[in-house]
Structure 1
Amino acid sequence: MKKFNRKFMFGAATAAHQVEGNNKNSDFWVLENIPGSLYKEKSLDAVDHYNRYKEDIKILADAGLNSYRFSLEWARIEPSKGNFDKNEIEHYRDMINFCHDNGVTPIVTLHHFSSPRWLISEGGWESETTVEYFGRYCKYVVSELGELMPYICTINEANMGVQIARIMKEYQAKMAKATKVQSANADVQVGINVDSQSSMEKYYRAAGEAFGIDPRKLHTFHDPRTEHGDLIIMKCHEKAREVIKEINPEIKVGLTMSLYDYQAQPGGEELVKKLWDEDFLHYLPYIQEDDFFGVQNYTRKVFGPNGKIEPDENTRLSEVGNEFYPLSLAGVIRFVAKHWKKSIIVTEHGIATSNDKDRVELIEEAIAGLYDCIEEGIDVIGYMHWSLLDNFEWQLGYTPKFGLIAVDRATQIRYPKESLTILGNMSNSRF
């Protein structure tokens, strides 16, 4: 077995809305419950991580993992504009302290897709005021918990809205040509459900009513992003970094991005170049002062002169339509490292499958590729598998299974999988 340095962080990741349950003040809770919702089911109690986090972190630690990436829920901490809930910040204080007590390094994400309901009514992720609001939230959290958080990811998958805008444009073009529409999940690394045009129009009308805004001004983090909105995200990140460093300069700050291993066959080079610029390169000026970069990867995409080359019928696919290709992670790390000379943390990597043997195979092959990257001199300091628990995969509901731990949601009993043991053994073999 390849051995990693003792300081290397092996862990797993979750997001608050996907695991905590009853996140009733968030925008996604609203969207799950409106008439004609595109969500296949409601999050409800999720996997009750809010109340069972000690059990879950203990399972992680007992398996040998030494780090845990999770998000704080803004909608819990600031349920109404300008009003912070002390009980909720104390909940997260207890959670972070429990990590430390069990030898687990917390990697805290301040925003992982879900937002307070009130923020969306105020203009959401296309509004300049969000920069101020996000900075205020970050200041409160770091003032309260900063000494407990060695690593902070400000925003999860800051480029997600750009990717969604791209696939929606492609989807509309396919609809206009009346061609077969492939699931959008193979084209964006988040659980979204692209339905018929009429269904989506009804959904947005109902959403507009729920938030009390013109549906054309609905801007959640999962909505297609304009160039202006893309800049808003970067301003939010810069503001958060500024606030964090003012309060505690010792905290390591970064953000995460959804990245594919883009591969070009002859004639596809220009397409791949354009995609890398959209998904990663144009953000570089905004992250130069960061301490680390979070890579999030699940698969590859191959392009020829006529565009994306779809996998053939014999290709192994995950439950969300991604090609099974473990070496995509190393491919992305190598590309990022050409342009980013500081630390890299793999903040998400995984597979949606009900067959855990696939997950084991993915982990073993991907980690071998990651090790090769380190041997080449790339400063990769951690690997967080997505996800610690089978969870609520946004609009796709609970069907896709990403977890190292299965959960019977009728009883909330946890069942660790072989993949957790395999990953834990890798962590235990560090020297």
Structure 2
Amino acid sequence: MSRRLLLALPLLLAACSERPSFDPDVVKATRLGEGLPAGFMLGTSTAAHQVEGGNENQWSVWERGQWPDGRPHIKDGALSGAATDSWNRFDEDVRLMERLGSNAYRFSVEWARLQPTPEAWDTEALARYQQWARTLRQKGITPLVTLYHFTLPTWVADTGGWENAATLEAFEAYVARVAEALGGEVDWWCTINEPNVYAVLGYLEGEWPPGKQDMKATATVLSHLLEAHALAARQLRLKDTVDADGDGHATRVGLAHHVRVFQPASGTTADTTVAALTDSFFNESVVESVRTGRIRLSVPGQVSIDREVADLKGSIDYLGINYYTRDYVRQYLGEPALSRQYVPRGREKNDLGWELYPEGLYLFLTRYAKLGLPLMVTENGMADHSGERRPYFLQSHVYAVEQARAQGVEVLGYFHWSLLDNFEWAEGYEPKFGLFAVDLASPEKTRTDTPAVATFQDIARNLGLTPLP
């Protein structure tokens, strides 16, 4: 068996290993937060295009487009538009963070807003992001800034986007300017959000821009995103030399890696093999690349990339983990991914049909502990229109973090997705992920508590934080 398949075994054989009880009664009886250390980052996440409003980028263009059969690219033809208007309501959102008792906030800066054309640079927008970070720090909330969260300036997309190696140079220059401007207020950085998701949905499954179904292009894009991360990490360490929080580290660099449990649909060789290959490509290739400094992407008979990248090894100070669900995998050679993924009947699911499986977060945290690097849960949440099931979802996943820490795993923080209901990419505004619901029809974009706000506040209090009224 290859080394890549061996790396996949921890999840494929999870049922055979001992792990903590995730019985709901056990979870609910636990005083969550008390198992977390002082200084643990307990916060929420957002992304610029999903909450700011008023952005014009390659996603905006995609939103206005249609499939060949006339269907809109976005469910129900939704446009991101004003989103939650967080560009103009940031102070209001900070008050929500204070009410939660959170001590950290992960947000992204919008490349297209800062550099709408190759020659233009919006210094006023950059100053506003700088002020956001300063405001957060003054409120005792640590800013964690993501530099790339799925959206490209149109001038970059029009020249091939991440398929074009020239994008690397443009991205590096953008990162350098952001690092110089925000470095005095920001120590924690996330270079790239979910490179595997962007590559798969945009270039393999074709559901996101540019809507391709090409395995070679998928591998090329993922390879370039990993190289872009290495370039960004180098620039951050060169340009951000100010230790904003006084902990002896001017920069803490990571990336946010999306992970999913891929469970074989059966014990057949076909299903177990394709599940292992899927796990290897989706869950392991990014991690192995930053661990070794060598990008190895291989799909038998379709694509093979094997190259060393300068500055990739040692480029992260922490690994961000975005975790949501488990998929069952059945071999199907007619699909680009060589499989079909589904959730069996009778499993509890969120509004998007994703299985609720908190054990998976524990499994990934203990799996990646072998890297010898600190870990951060940079996203975790559920689509729940009523909001009634989100409190237990939050409890069970924070419980997973505490159980991993009890096993000696160094988990530095947990960021819930999301602070607010927002624009959820191809799904539009239908999925509701926010701790705070947003009335998008109201001129004020009114924010209201969901039941999980009280749950988050309880965890914060048990951690020693103080939610404000």
The normalised TM-score by structure 2 is 0.77
Check 1:48–1:161 CA distance in 2 against 1; reply closer, same or farther (3 A cut): closer
2:428 aligns with 397
- What percent identity do the matched residue pairs reach? 30
Cα distance change, pair 312–423 in 1 and its aligned pair in 2 (3 A): same
Per the alignment, residue 95 of structure 1 pairs with 132
1:38: which partner in 2? Answer: 73
Instruction: Tell me how far 1:225 sits from its aligned partner.
Output: 4.2
Moved more, 356-365 or 400-409: 356-365
- Structure 2 residue runs of 5 or longer lacking an equivalent are 1-30, 242-249, 292-312, 333-338, 465-469
* 1:262 alignment partner, SS class: strand
Q: Distance in 2 between matches of 1:226 and 1:63?
A: 39
Deviation at 1:68, TM superposition (A): 0.6
Aligned with residue 295 of structure 1, among 304, 321, 334: 321
Residue matched to 1:352: 383
Listed one character per residue, the Cα deviations across residues 64-88 of structure 1 (whole Å, up to 9, x for unaligned) are 1111111000011111113211000
Question: Helix, strand or coil for the counterpart of 2:342?
Answer: coil
Q: Quick one: structure 1 residues 224 and 113, their matched pair in 2 at CA, closer, same or farther if it must change by over 3 Å? A: farther
Distance 2:283 2:346 in 1: 31
Match of 1:414 in 2: 447
What do residues 251-306 of structure 1 show as CA deviations (whole Å, max 9, x unaligned)?
Answer: 10011111102334534443332122201322223354110111011101234688
Of 58, 62, 72, 2:95 maps to 58
Change (3 A) 1:353 1:68: same
Asked if 1:152 corresponds to 2:183, the answer is: no
- Partner SS state of residue 159, structure 1: helix
Once the two structures are overlaid, the 10-residue window that deviates more, 348-357 or 399-408, is 348-357
State how far apart, in whole Å, the 2-side matches of 1:120 and 1:136 are: 16
Q: Which has the higher helix share?
A: 1
Higher alpha-carbon deviation: 37-46 or 307-316: 307-316
Contact 1:123 1:219 survives alignment (8 Å): no
Question: Aligned to 2:52, which of 10, 20, 32?
Answer: 20
Partner of 1:119: 156
CA 420–28 in structure 1, closer or farther in 2 if over 3 Å, else same: same
Is this contact kept in 2: 1:404–1:420, CA < 8 A?
A: yes
Deviation at 1:167, TM superposition (A): 6.1
Q: Check if 1:343 corresponds to 2:374.
A: yes
Q: Does 1:327 align with 2:362?
A: no
What SS does structure 2 have at the residue aligned with 1:226? helix
What SS is found at the alignment partner of 2:79? Answer: coil
Aligned partner letter, 1:266? G
Task: Give the counterpart letter for 2:324 in structure 1.
Answer: Y
Structure 1 gap ranges (5+): 170-191, 194-203, 205-217
Judge conservation of contact 1:165–1:225 (CA < 8 Å) in 2: no
| Structure 1 counterpart SS, 2:433 | coil
Q: Deviations over 1:136-195 (max 9, x none)?
A: 0000000111121111100100111343278629xxxxxxxxxxxxxxxxxxxxxx58xx
RMSD over equivalenced CA pairs, Å: 2.3
Question: Taking structure 1 as the reference length, what is the TM-score of the superposition?
Answer: 0.83
CA contact (8 A) 2:438 2:446 kept: yes
Report the equivalent of 1:286.
290
Matched, 1:426 2:426: no
Q: Distance in 2 between matches of 1:372 and 1:291?
A: 22
Q: Secondary structure at the residue paired with 1:21?
A: coil
For 1:197, the equivalent position in structure 2 comes to none
Partner amino acid for 1:32?
A: E
